[in-house]
Amino acid sequence: MSVSASPAPSSVAPDEIARFSALASQWWDPRGPMRPLHAMNGPRIAWTERHLTPLTEARGGRLRVLDLGCGAGLASEALAAHGHDVTGIDASADAIAAARAHLAISPLGPDAGSLRYECGSAEDLLARGERFDAVTAFEVIEHVTDPAAFMAMIAQLLLPGGRAIVSTMNRTVRALAIAKFGAEYVLRLLPRGTHDWRKFVTPAELATYARQAGMRAIDVRGLTWRPPAWRESRDLGINYIAAMTRD
């Protein structure tokens, strides 16, 4: 959910990084301000794994996975637990410190060595020539100022045939009412100001950005709150998750 798109002013908003840095110490509290992410993490990782398993089988070994904008590592640890070699990167030093502290006490055991965290930008990885079998970006694109450039960067980080998994919120009236006002002002599930509805990305826009970046959309599903849990659905009206491939 935190931002790690680019250090350039056109790609990263410093106020976004500061906002999520302030929450770093509470990131792993399932009843704290990140509790919606804790609740959503299971279904979004399960959906992601369904799209990574064929790639794992085709490549005959562990996948190198980049968790872009990893925050304090909720998804990173889950991906490592599924047997991937994971790099979590985020522009927030506080979030990365929280991620490393939690990893030190996590139940990953031997798999903890398959997870590394880095504070910085994806450009740092590109400059070193690093490429990955898969890139995940969960609840990140709605916090960057240039989503088209963000998707182009993801494409550059992927090896040919790699997979990109992006989850975000749709720019609909329902999302404005529920994900913005409902979650932040009524139910107080998130701190006020967490989201800017104008920066939500529609599925059609995401598919266009992917195509412009040389990727092809292969699947999209809704993530819907149906008490007592988040579930996959055909409803893309609020939250959704999409899979893309670089041919």
What is the 8-class DSSP label of residue 185? I
Q: What CA–CA distance (Å, rounded) separates 182 from 149?
A: 30
Q: Please state, as a whole number, how many other Cβ atoms lie within 10 Å of the Cβ of residue 60.
A: 6
What ranges in 106-237 are assigned the alpha helix state H?
A: 122-127, 147-157, 173-175, 203-212
Q: What CA–CA distance (Å, rounded) separates 237 from 56?
A: 31
Interacting residues of 247 by C-beta distance below 8 A, sequence separation 6+: 160, 161, 214, 215, 216
Q: Which two tokens stand for residue 26?
A: 């509470």
Residue ranges for the known binding site for S-adenosyl-L-methionine are 44, 69, 90, 138
Residue ranges for the known binding site are 44, 69, 90, 138
Cβ 41 vs Cβ 75: under 8 Å: yes
Strand partners, 132: 158
